[in-house]
Amino acid sequence: MALLQIAEPGQSAAPHQHRLAAGIDLGTTNSLVATVRSTQAETLPDMEGRHILPSVVRYSSDNVEVGEAARLAAPSDPLNTISSAKRLIGRAIGDLKSIGDELPYEFISADSAVPRIRTVAGDVTPIEVSAEILKVLGQRAVDSLGGELSGVVITVPAYFDDAQRQATKDAARLAGLHVFRLLNEPTAAAVAYGLDRGADGVHAIYDLGGGTFDVSILRLNKGVFEVMATGGDSSLGGDDFDDAVAAWLLEQAGLSADVDRGTLRHVLDRARAAKEALAGSETVEVEIDLPQGGSWHGSLSREQLDSLIDLLIRKTINTCRRVLRDAGVSADEIEDVVMVGGSTRNLRVREKVAELFGREPLVDIDPDRVVAIGAAIQADVLAGNKPGDEMLLLDVNPLSLGVETMGGLTEKIIPRNTTIPVARAQEFTTFKDGQSAMAIHVVQGERELVADCRSLARFELRGIPPMVAGAARIRVTFAVDADGLLQVEAREQTSGVSASVEVKPSYGLTDDEVMDMLQASIDHAQGDMVARRLVEETVEARRVIEALTAALATDGDELLSTEERKVVDDALGNLAAIADQSKDPKIVEAAIKQLEKDCEFYVERRMNSGIRKAMAGHRVDEFASQEDPEAK
């Protein structure tokens, strides 16, 4: 007789057995893997004792190198050495201009929306590049722990959209890793700091990495981590600091910005080294090998570095202010500011952050390792090694999600900063008599008009039973899972017909969209509300016009004299003209009311006519007996 072992999902069938799990910080510049051993979270080193793995992959005809060896080969083999793939993942070819023209790669012109980079080993996508990095980190964990992993938690920027998150999961699948969940990087940092300190209260997580920036306001209370608000830029980080310094070095060395790719990678390396050296000194010497032979010698001071990167730092500070407003807290209510990401080692960054929040930021845990450590703690929980752990992570969706309604209006179903996972539903109806299909347009953004928001997906619900306008009940459900991925379903309630779509956009947010969508909603709030009301009144006017036109076609000649018909037609024409031309919602509203007043006598006649037809051939007491059985 066979016996079945039964265990709760995510928990080991043998309670004493520790399941192996890891947390991975897949970074733009550097990546790490960490795990929990003997109740302590720690990052795992490679065979040479190095914890940090440069996020660089070099392709050759018969080999793939990942990490430090690939990074060192970049200047001599720029076309086959891919770095900062995180900036490309989940994006379309059309988005590359928003990332910058400095990318020293050869992109393939193809019909595919996914960017493909030409290398000697063949064309590769950012997903495949990221998968190579994840393979190395996963194997490092297996070698260190002495067994196969049950799963991993991979961190992503809080501002990664659906496409970027899905692409990250695809990279992990390609690397042979089982993903417990994706975890926002600021939340991972909160796990690392909050659990260690038991720090209940409101905290800010300032995360400036190599290629992305996030800031989140979190409330920690009795083991519950709630993200109150989040914001950031998926194309702003230490790489941009390097670009600014490299541009200055090129100018100082008398070189043009369009130097060959090898020289550009060489100068970028020198720029990064100089930037990092200035964290511990006032001035650093720089030497650049010139393409025509010889070299250029110069120096870079901390003051000069500050002037080159101040504008970029100011962008992050402005985002911090906006997120504080979103969270409804002031800077002096923040108890701690946690610094995450290698770029927060920059002294100017720390100075500006301290200036904004009025306190020195926390740098107790290595800013390069804090995210990986938090991911490892969460992975240990999800692996079932701590079944009694009460830690709860509540992330939020950064932008509102909704659908397009009549007139091009946005109807928000899941507002921004809603805790995820979440499911919300709303009922809609048909606009025309006999309508048997409905187009569902899923949008993302804060503006009132669809034209000002970002289109995510479109699908159709067909098979709706023909009914009069407004009778059908279509329930649209939005469900966002713990990884921030969205599924939308539309279902007609009486017939049960349904259609759905999983939103995997073919492109990511551009820089301008990431930074400007929220600000635009604030700047245009008053104008958007006026525009929305105008559209609403115009849609209502057209509904009234359509209903009245249909009624006139049915019995207008029967119930109205020639003079009366002219009165109704004139009122109808007046409303149609105002609905087409007026830009004032109050005028449209007044015209609708005037039409209703002018046509009141016709509506009353139609009602009486309908009652007479319904009662034809019946006695009044028949209707009374139906309402009251005892009336007989």
Count of other CB atoms within 10 angstroms of residue 47: 8
- Do the beta carbons of residue 592 and residue 575 sit within 8 Å? yes
Question: Would you state the structure tokens that stand for residue 381, as one six-digit string?
Answer: 């929980």
Among this protein's residues, is 86 annotated catalytic? yes
Return all residues near 107 (Cβ < 8 A) that are at least 6 apart: 93, 96, 115, 116, 117, 118
Return all residues near 439 (Cβ < 8 A) that are at least 6 apart: 458, 459, 460
Residue type, 47: M
Half-sphere exposure of 338 toward its Cβ, with a 13 Å CA cutoff? Answer: 31
Catalytic one of 65, 86, 395, 446: 86
Residue with the two structure tokens 């928000």: 412
User: What DSSP string runs through 78-96?
Assistant: GGGEEE-GGGTTT--GGGH
Among this protein's residues, is 185 annotated catalytic? yes
Return all residues near 495 (Cβ < 8 A) that are at least 6 apart: 463, 464, 465
- Among positive and negative, which fits the CA dihedral 257, 262, 263, 269? positive
φ and ψ of 93, to 5 deg: -60, -40
Among this protein's residues, is 404 annotated catalytic? no
Catalytic one of 77, 162, 170, 207: 207
**What pairs with residue 286 in β-bridges?**
298
Catalytic one of 65, 95, 185, 214: 185
Catalytic one of 25, 242, 489, 537: 25
Burial class (CB in 10 A: 0-12, 13-18, 19+), 55: buried
Measured distance CA(115)–CA(164) in Å, rounded? 13
> E strands, 185-245, where?
201-208, 213-221, 224-233
Among this protein's residues, is 25 annotated catalytic? yes
Residues with catalytic function? 25, 86, 185, 207
